[in-house]
Amino acid sequence: MSTHQSASENPSSDQTSPSDAPEAAGAPADHGATVASMFDGIAGRYDLMNLVMTWGQEPRFVRRTVARAELPDRPVVLDLATGTGDIALEVLRSHYGAQVTGADFAPEMMEVGRKRPGGGQIDWVEADAMDLPFEDNTFDAVTHGYLLRNVADIPTTLAEQFRVLKPGGRMVALETSPAPDNMIKPFSTAYIKYVVPQISRLITRTPGAYEYLSATSRGFKTPAQIQALLEEAGFEGVGHETHLFGTLAIHWATKPL
């Protein structure tokens, strides 16, 4: 199930970001290293758990994210928080001649991706999303999945994406969202808060990582708040669409010409 919200929607929201979101909580200086280590520890099971957390819909959301990038012919794309390369590989699959850089701060995650079919065609780079090692105006698009809920400073992260995009380039992000107030909220909240960590205990030896992911999913910013942050970063044509009864969103924005 999905709903669409246009770029002209009022970005204001009554909700504030909860204290368990890293950026709102005043993340410690070693937050990035801690999160990187956590993701390295679950690298081998990450793709399976993403399927579980999205009720098996993850591949569809990845395809939709790439479609929203509206890539040109032979695009030059940066996929941040690339993990095992789901979005990066979809760009290669769907766009002939694409040049794709996958960047992440968890090298073990990228090692899993490097071994996947097509992984050898991606330029894998260990990098901090808040301090990217790329020149200004380099990429036709910047994509990422589940990045913003894990960074210590969202405005700095968005500013870096704005910097490395070419004028007219597009940013597209796949992100979790706190469940909106509707009749589904008690069920979706219970699923992500209780069911997902229990399932993770069956298929991974690090269930604590998924307790963290569950908490950051429930405590992350609303789509309207992300839209406002993108506009403050200088992007235009900002919009989003929601899926999974409002618990997941695809965001897009364009760097002005």
Residues 65-122 pLDDT 10s: 999 999 999 999 999 999 999 999 999 999 999 999 999 998 998 999 999 999 999 9
Do the Cβ atoms of 3 and 246 come closer than 8 Å?
Answer: yes
Ranges 13-22, 69-78, 148-157, 179-188: which has the least confidence: 13-22
CB neighbour class for 30 (10 Å; exposed up to 12, middle 13-18, buried from 19): exposed
Q: What is the 3-state secondary structure (H, E, C) of 94-119?
A: HCCCCEEEEEECCHHHHHHHHCCCCH
Q: How much is the mean pLDDT over the chain?
A: 80
Q: Is 84 annotated as a binding residue?
A: yes
Q: Is 104 annotated as a binding residue?
A: yes
Phi/psi for 100 (5° steps) reads: -120, 130
Instruction: Summarize pLDDT for 210-229 with one digit per residue, the tens.
Output: 555 555 555 578 999 999 99
Q: Is 82 annotated as a binding residue?
A: no
To the nearest whole percent, how much of the chain has pLDDT over 70? 63
Q: Is 128 annotated as a binding residue?
A: yes
